[in-house]
Amino acid sequence: MKKLEIKHVRLIYDEWKCIERKSYRQKRIKNPDFSGFLALIDIERVKEKQVWSWGQESLTVCDDGMKWLIIVPENGKYAVTVYMNQEYRPVLWYIDIIDGIGVDEDGMFFVSDLFLDLLVSPEGEVKEEDRDELEAALEQGVITECQFAQADRTAQELRLYLEKNFQEFWVSCGRRLEEIMVQGN
C-alpha cells in the first residue's frame, strides 16, 4: 500500500474536479441545538456526473443542481456530508471520521480526515469504508494509537446512534440545512 497521510480537506471540496461551477457558503453556528460548522455547496454544472454503487443500486452523488450540506459538530470528531438531489432530498450521507476542524488563511473551513468513513443510505443502512486505510496509517506511523482508537470509537458510537436514532439524525440534518439557508454567509 502507498504511503498515506492525513488529508487536509477543505469543505468547499476543491478536489472534485468534475464540478465546473458551484456556489458555496459556510457558517459557524452556536445555539442550544447545535454548535459547529456548516457549509453548503450548490452544484450548478458538472463536466461528468458521478455515480456510486450501493449494492444493486446506483446513486448519483454529483450532478447539475445537486446540493451538498456539510455538518461538522464542534467536537471535531466527524464531518457529515449530505448529498442531496435537486429537490433537497438526501441521496446519501457520507460521514468522514476526522481529527479536528480548522480555518485556512483564506477563511475556508477544513477538516483533517482520518481515513475511516461511514456511508448511510436514506433507508438508514450503514456501511463502513476504508478501515484498511486507517489500519495502514497506524502501521505506517501516520497516526498514533490514540488517533486510531478515537477514530474507531467515534465510528462505533455513530453506527450505534444511527441504528437507534436514524429519523432523529435525518431531522437534525434538515434543521442544519434550514440554518445555513436562512442565515447565509
Give pLDDT tens digits for 118-140: 999 999 999 999 999 999 999 99
Q: CA dihedral defined by 154, 158, 25, 46, rounded to 10 degrees?
A: 100
- pLDDT above 70 for 185: no
Mean pLDDT of the region 24-33? 94
pTM of the model: 0.94
Residue 150 has a pLDDT of: 97
Domains of the chain by start residue, with CATH = 7-183 (2.40.380)
Angle 11-90-134 (CA atoms, 0-180°, nearest 5)?
50
Which helix (H) or strand (E) segment is 164 a member of?
Answer: helix 145-183
- pLDDT above 80 for 95: yes
